[in-house]
Structure 1
Amino acid sequence: MIRDAFNTRIGFILAAAGSAVGLGNIWGFPTQVANHGGGVFLLVYLLVVLILAIPALYTEISLGHAAQANPVQALRSLAQRPAGVGAAAGAGMGYLNVGGAILMLSFYHLVAAWMLAQGLASLALALSLDQLSQWLQTGSHSRDLVLMFAFISLTFGIVIKGVQQGIERWSRRLMPVLVLLLLSLIAYILTLPGASTGLAAYLIPDLSALQQPGLIVAAMGQAFFSLSIGLGGMMIYGSYLPKDTRIGKLVFGVAGLDTLIAFLAGLLIIPALYVAMAQGLSVAEGDQLIGEGQLIFQILPQLFAQLGTAGAWLGFAFFALLSIAALTSTIATAEVPIAYAIEQHQLSRRQAAWIIAALIAVIGSALVIWFEPLFNWVVTYVTQFQLPLSGLFYFIVLGWLWQRSNRLRDLAKQQLKYRLLFWHLRVVCPLLLLWVFVDVAF
């Protein structure tokens, strides 16, 4: 079977950065900044991106690139020692990646449905469609199901067309629109009263915050999670690169674009919080910023409502931004189970896409109907256990289990700089990630 592949380097960078640019960048990063000393968190974050996140991204992409296969087959073939046991462990982690990707897509599409609801409600309000706006703003099973199915259709309508014609083509369209929307929103927010105070809080480090407990772990966790590492999406993207591709510069390109968008998101959200405070809205609980869900779905919509007609269009643009960020992430994650179904079960891409989409629709519907007992459990399992556990296993495979055709291992025998890099990936990164895993999980 001839595997699909990316057609251009820029197409890969935009697609991989699109996978990484998700809700963690647009709302997670600014929230962490606000709760950990503003600019000082930004400095620590940039440092740990270099120390942990870029090595983790390089590791996951390298595994897929070397194996040229889906996560199950890739990890099975590269976990070469001990003989038999390593392959079984690798395959087991690959299956966890496939299952985790399906679970993540189930709750991510529901969250995306809420974003669509808010964005379309703002648009309906701007167009004086008050009854439609009211229905979109009022939470209900019917609203959530309709919009979730719509977003699932968007995701699988893209991936069903393949890597070049679907993922790469749409990433080249969506990422520039996302950046343009982000810059436009920043430009508008910075004109409002209170924004300059927020800008100072974001960009001027409060060095006393370096003594905050949990600052470094929070920065490591955010840097790791923001690059969408741990579910096999970057691995499958790496497998679609030609075998002779040098991936080092590509990894820095992806990480750089992802970090830039996270930084720009901070330029939008932090000043917007201070604008909201200037409008009399409460954005904190004690000394901590109000929860991310409340911030996005309650506080900011209240702010937009106070800005009149301009606020309605602002709200539409903001939630369009979030929806695009969600879509670029879902199309990457969807490729994990689709590639597995195609390569392991000899299904056509169309068959695989329909089956996976139907499975996600069923699980997502269960999350809508039985929200209270299921939603938080699924989110916690994927984000706090699956992602760091998978990332830790990737480091172990690259550093300890992968023997034959491990280019980095071979280079480490010849040059000191590669020897240092290899030991950093082999020892330092797993220990740092284990620290994050223990802190988050327990």
Structure 2
Amino acid sequence: MTNKRDGFQSRIGFVLAAAGAAVGLGNIWGFPTQAANHGGGAFLLVYFIVIFALALPALFTELYLGYAAQANPVQALKRAWQYKAPKLGAGAGYLGLGGAVVMLSFYSIVAGWMLAHALAPIAQMLDMPAAAEFLSNDSLTRNLVFTPLMLVLTASIILQGVKSGIEAWSRRLMPLLLVLLVGLIFYIGSLDGAAEGFAHYLKPDFDKVWDADLIIAAMGQAFFSLSLGVGCMMIYGSYLKPGANLGKLTLSVAALDTSVAFLAGLLIVPAIFVASHNGVEVFANGKLIGEGQLIFAVLPQLFEAMGTMGLVIALAFFVLMSIASVTSTISSTEIPVAFLVENHQMDRKRATALVTLVVAIASGTIIMNFDWLFGLVIQVFTQYQLPLMGLFYFLTLGWVWNRGNKLAESNHPGIKALLWYIRLVCPILMTAVFINVAMK
């Protein structure tokens, strides 16, 4: 089975795919407002420190578990726990599978919103006001149309496999994402009000560096922005060729993900202040307006105020958001697909169809019960499952898995130090993140 597994064919292909899995909507609409509301440059400083203190070890841990097992999360965790409690390890793997389906069920809905908003300016350019209004305004019908569209788009990439699907499309989409992001930064930066936004984002308020809320917020953002805790990185790690340098790959993925988050701040925060300069209300109770209102209310008002050029900018922005959505949905979809292929000997076509159908049913259930179910699903997933699974991975690599674990068997001082850091420091930091998020 190991020899027949598909896999990444190049280092750059893996880095772009893994970074694409990590780069999601949270990077582009969550990170900027977190930074702006927590001391600007002070948050950035703490965030960069936390990336090295928590997120890098967490990313390395998840990649290593998949890489060593060369298998999906259920098999990987079962093998790691085989001498202690294999059923517990497998159970955690199944919980990750369920988490991937849960994540896809709400993420596909939001991704559908992004796709609809990307098509809205095209409808306006074609003088189709009714279509533009339908695409721009939230409705049950729009959700029932665009959520399946995103699921089909994701499935079409997954069907092609790792090399021809995930890797090939990541090599196309991630550079496009970066080009759009940088281009939008330059354009927004040239508008009145942008300079104030750059100052708000980049100027550090060092009085807040030691603020507990800022530190915990940075820890949570660093962990969640790398898409850790659901098994995405574990399955991608399992597709690496033998002899891969996991240390360098971990650094590369984290560096690219962090760079995108930082650049997103250079786009979003100045754009908010440009909107404010144009009379749009952007503050609530002394803080920047929340992410949902920001993306679907504040920025569209800004784009509308720009006239014809605003249509072009709106198109570029929501294409950017759609790309960020797709690169994340394909990684989450691959987790249950790989499980069905490897554990139940399904061909990829049937496995992809089954996963897409299950996610479509779950998404439809949320759409039909949106008012109370959408927020609940996101809260349970982000506040409980992700940090608990991250903690479980640390404990697995650090304390449980000893036989066949090259980290545990190594006599190299640096590797020993890394293992003890994962054993002792990372669980404490991860527990702090969980407690803080759960109490909010």
TM-score tier by shorter-chain length is over 0.9
Specify the code of the residue in structure 2 equivalent to 1:434. T
Counterpart secondary structure, 2:280: coil
Q: Which residue of 1 aligns with 2:372?
A: 373
> Cα offset for 1:284?
1.6
Does 1:438 find its partner at 2:440?
Answer: no
- Is contact 2:388–2:434 with CA below 8 Å preserved after alignment? yes
Does 1:252 find its partner at 2:251?
Answer: yes
Give the alignment's TM-score, normalised by structure 2. Answer: 0.98
Give the distance between the partners of 1:93 and 1:287, measured in 2 at CA.
42
Does 1:407 find its partner at 2:406?
Answer: yes
Specify the code of the residue in structure 2 equivalent to 1:438. I
Give the alignment's TM-score, normalised by structure 1. Answer: 0.97
Counterpart secondary structure, 1:214: helix
Q: Which residue of 2 aligns with 1:268?
A: 267
Does 1:5 find its partner at 2:7?
Answer: yes
Does 1:295 find its partner at 2:286?
Answer: no
- Is contact 1:80–1:401 with CA below 8 Å preserved after alignment? no
Give the distance between the partners of 2:36 and 2:138, measured in 1 at CA.
28
Specify the code of the residue in structure 2 equivalent to 1:441. A
Give the distance between the partners of 1:119 and 1:273, measured in 2 at CA.
19
Q: Which residue of 1 aligns with 2:426?
A: 429
Residues 1:202 and 1:138: Cα distance change in structure 2 (over 3 Å): closer
Q: Which residue of 2 aligns with 1:105?
A: 104
Counterpart secondary structure, 1:112: helix
> Cα offset for 1:417?
2.1
- Is contact 2:402–2:409 with CA below 8 Å preserved after alignment? no
Give the distance between the partners of 2:415 and 2:355, measured in 1 at CA.
40
Give the distance between the partners of 2:126 and 2:264, measured in 1 at CA.
27
Specify the code of the residue in structure 1 equivalent to 2:170. S
Q: Which residue of 2 aligns with 1:35?
A: 37
Does 1:342 find its partner at 2:344?
Answer: no
Q: Which residue of 2 aligns with 1:24?
A: 26
1:204-283 correspondence runs (5 A):
204-283=203-282
Counterpart secondary structure, 1:164: helix
> Cα offset for 1:70?
0.6
Render the CA deviation track for 1:375-417: whole Å, top value 9, x for unaligned: 1111111111111111100000000010111111122xx2322
Give the distance between the partners of 1:396 and 1:123, measured in 2 at CA.
50
1:38-437 correspondence runs (5 A):
38-82=40-84, 85=85, 87-411=86-410, 414-437=411-434
Identity of aligned residues (%): 53
Specify the code of the residue in structure 2 equivalent to 1:92. G
Specify the code of the residue in structure 2 equivalent to 1:430. P
- Is contact 1:80–1:403 with CA below 8 Å preserved after alignment? no
Counterpart secondary structure, 1:5: coil
Render the CA deviation track for 1:205-259: whole Å, top value 9, x for unaligned: 1112225341100000000000000110100000001122221101100000001
- Is contact 1:100–1:382 with CA below 8 Å preserved after alignment? yes
Render the CA deviation track for 1:54-107: whole Å, top value 9, x for unaligned: 10000000000001111111000012443xx2x111111100000010010010
Specify the code of the residue in structure 2 equivalent to 1:40. A
> Cα offset for 1:281?
1.2
- Is contact 1:58–1:251 with CA below 8 Å preserved after alignment? yes
Give the distance between the partners of 1:345 and 1:226, measured in 2 at CA.
32
- Is contact 1:126–1:313 with CA below 8 Å preserved after alignment? no
Give the distance between the partners of 2:56 and 2:127, measured in 1 at CA.
47
Q: Which moved more, 1:126-135 or 1:376-385?
A: 126-135
Specify the code of the residue in structure 1 equivalent to 2:111. A
Render the CA deviation track for 1:244-286: whole Å, top value 9, x for unaligned: 2221101100000001111100100011111011111111211
Specify the code of the residue in structure 2 equivalent to 1:323. S
Give the distance between the partners of 1:190 and 1:126, measured in 2 at CA.
25
Give the distance between the partners of 1:138 and 1:220, measured in 2 at CA.
34
Give the distance between the partners of 2:135 and 2:202, measured in 1 at CA.
36
- Is contact 1:20–1:227 with CA below 8 Å preserved after alignment? yes
Give the distance between the partners of 2:156 and 2:82, measured in 1 at CA.
37
- Is contact 1:342–1:352 with CA below 8 Å preserved after alignment? yes
Alignment RMSD:
1.0
- Is contact 1:199–1:270 with CA below 8 Å preserved after alignment? yes
- Is contact 1:395–1:425 with CA below 8 Å preserved after alignment? yes
Give the distance between the partners of 1:130 and 1:191, measured in 2 at CA.
30
Specify the code of the residue in structure 2 equivalent to 1:32. Q
- Is contact 1:182–1:268 with CA below 8 Å preserved after alignment? yes
Counterpart secondary structure, 1:128: coil
> Cα offset for 1:419?
2.0
Render the CA deviation track for 1:15-53: whole Å, top value 9, x for unaligned: 000000001110111010011011110010000000000
Counterpart secondary structure, 1:55: helix
Specify the code of the residue in structure 1 equivalent to 2:8. F
Specify the code of the residue in structure 2 equivalent to 1:241. L
